[in-house]
A and B are shown apart, each in its own frame.
Chain A
Amino acid sequence: MSNQGMKFIDPHIHMISRTTYDYIAMKRAGIVAVIEPAFWLGQPRTNAGSMLDYFSTLVGWERFRASQFGIKHYCTIGLNSKEANNVKLADEVMELIPRYAAKEGVVAIGEIGYDDMTKTEEKYFSKQVEFAKENDMLVMVHTPHRNKKEGAIRSMDLCEDHGMDPSKVIIDHNNEETVKVVHKRGFWTAFTIYPETKLGNKRMVEIVKEYGSERIIIDSSADWGHSDPLSVPKTAKLMLDRGISREDVHKVSYQNALACYGQSGEFNEKDWQDLPPVDFSETFSGNSIRRDGNIPVVEGDDAIGEDIVIE
């Protein structure tokens, strides 16, 4: 099944956990740009140095790795809610954030928010929203797995209490329940298509049918768990198959992410439109090695495969 010539942005994906095969598959499926939010690693960090190297990876090595496959890589910087509960770690990481927040390609403070909704989580969530406000940055909010609706409401309240305009805040990992309260308050409403624990894409189709495409964004949040880096192109295809207009599909799988994160000044369409096309003709002594380290990738018609439903 083809990507029908559409281009996609995956505005939430943890590429450091993904293989080069994923990058190739994503490129072939039409993904042109990704945003990698700073998050936890599955294994808890026990010192701030671990976070420093992680932030450096996001703005350095991973950015380079993506570029080899013709994909533009951006990131958000922040202390996630889970690790915010380790106060010593959290205080030290808060000192690191200003060292990374103003860097090129850092599009927001995130993903931050609540996990278990402890007081400590709230303290560091609040501090980071304050930092974003002071520095005129966007905020990407992770809503909790458990008690999601209350978590979403409290997150929005907290952002507004700090004077954040809803147009500068992305509430992520929504579902049928939270969309009701998030969308009408004017926040960017993001949905993670992730098998089993989050949202399947048949449900996503129904949400777009009901709420339309304004301020709605889809992403994969693919990481080290059982997840799918082709969630966005697959869901786009499923939407087209089920009668959603191409224009609406384009908005939720590309244009809205661009409009939203474009507000940072660090996320511009020309960044990926200006990328030199992958060139196979360059050869060296008869062998196709590239001097700039780029790896040839063919954009193909069979990029997504037949099985596009994510349960």
Chain B
Amino acid sequence: MDQSIQPHDVKKIRSTVFNWLESRLGEKPLAWLTQKGDLLKGKPEDRQLYISFSAVTRHTGKKVIELSDEELNQAGTIRQGWNPSGWSADQFGRIFLILCYADQEKEEFLDKIEKIFISSDWGEAEALYRGLPLYPYPEEFAERTAEGVRSNITPVFNAIALNNPYPKDYLDEVAWNQIVLKALFVGSPVYKILGVDERANKTLAKILVEYAHERWSAGRPVSPELWRPVGPFLSEEFEDEIERVFSHPEHIQKQAAALALISSNYPGKNKLTEKYASLVEEVKNSDLTWDDIGRELE
């Protein structure tokens, strides 16, 4: 894990989430959430925990909560890198209840949260994984996260992979690489994986190039975003591949090849930079970024 991660204040996150909901939900759902929150902070029976967690949608509904820029900044301050834009009312409600239950002893908390994960429905699983960066004892959730990455339910995988700072902060290289590879495999936007550049590594670059070969052999398209984490690890070894991307008929593929080449720093790169000088210049002059590529593909 990344040692520079600042510990976050669970109670502060809990009260902030509640404040956001307070100005947006009606009196009845708020009263319900308050009551259940208090119950879970005390000495609840197991079934009260399960039933209140499951019943959240019935009270809050599933409307997306539109946070202001100020509120989003606040989110990133109370938990480094946290960006809850697009979260729905029930997702905030569920996380609020989990963070109330966090008042329990560590063992009890971890045991029950794992049980909630195990019996979660589709919507609950999305909420639980989106909430990963906010829980206490975050290092304890690495295995659970790796298990979630294996989910066949694409939106559940996306809840972990996209706009979520937890994986980059806590997953080891094997689990991390699996996220990037699987994102490409299921067609999820790579540019929304937080830390995709800082956690790029040589092993991942090799895996991705192999994957590109498989796709080419099958006559299937290769996402231009695949070359983003490969770029910094380009070397003579991958020159044939990157030339293949340069010669792709689609312009966005050529741009991706140029961006990958620009981000590399191997000694022999000048040969290709000269060969594809006009594309490289074009990309440099237009300030094109990988995020632009990702957005264009969506």
Contacts and interface: CB of A to CB of B under 8 A. Distances in A.
B31 interface: no
A64 B123 CA distance: 10
A212 B20 CA distance: 52
B67 interface: no
B187 A99 contact: no
Nearest to A60: B122
Interface stretch (A38-46, A196-204, A279-287, A302-310): A279-287
The interface residues of chain B, by DSSP majority, are classed as helix
A60 B159 CA distance: 14
Interface in B121-168: 121-125, 152-155
Interface stretch (B54-62, B266-274, B276-284): B54-62
Contact of A104 (B47, B123, B253): B123
Contacts, number: 78
Given A59-B121, A265-B58, A284-B221, A290 B51 contact: no
A103 interface: yes
Contact of A103 (B121, B186, B188): B121
Interface string A285-296: 111011111000
A144 interface: no
Contact of B122 (A59, A96, A102, A293): A59
B116 to A, nearest CB: 8
Contacts of A96: 119
A56 interface: yes
Contact of B221 (A101, A286, A292): A286
Contact of A291 (B51, B124, B188): B188
Nearest to A102: B54
A217 B54 CA distance: 29
B120 interface: yes
A224 interface: no
A117 B221 CA distance: 59
Contacts of B47: 98-99
Contact of A100 (B119, B250, B298): B119
B275 to A, nearest CB: 24
B64 interface: no
B50 interface: yes
A207 B50 CA distance: 43
Contacts of B187: 284, 289-291, 293
Contacts of B298: 291
Contacts of B54: 99-104
Contacts of B37: none
A266 B115 CA distance: 24
B189 interface: yes
27 contacts: A56-B121, A60-B120, A60-B122, A63-B121, A96-B119, A98-B50, A98-B51, A99-B115, A99-B119, A101-B51, A102-B54, A104-B54, A104-B121, A104-B124, A105-B121, A284-B187, A285-B221, A285-B223, A285-B253, A286-B221, A287-B220, A289-B187, A289-B221, A290-B187, A292-B154, A293-B154, A293-B187
Interface of B: 47, 50-51, 54-55, 57-58, 115, 118-125, 152-155, 186-189, 220-223, 250, 253, 297-298
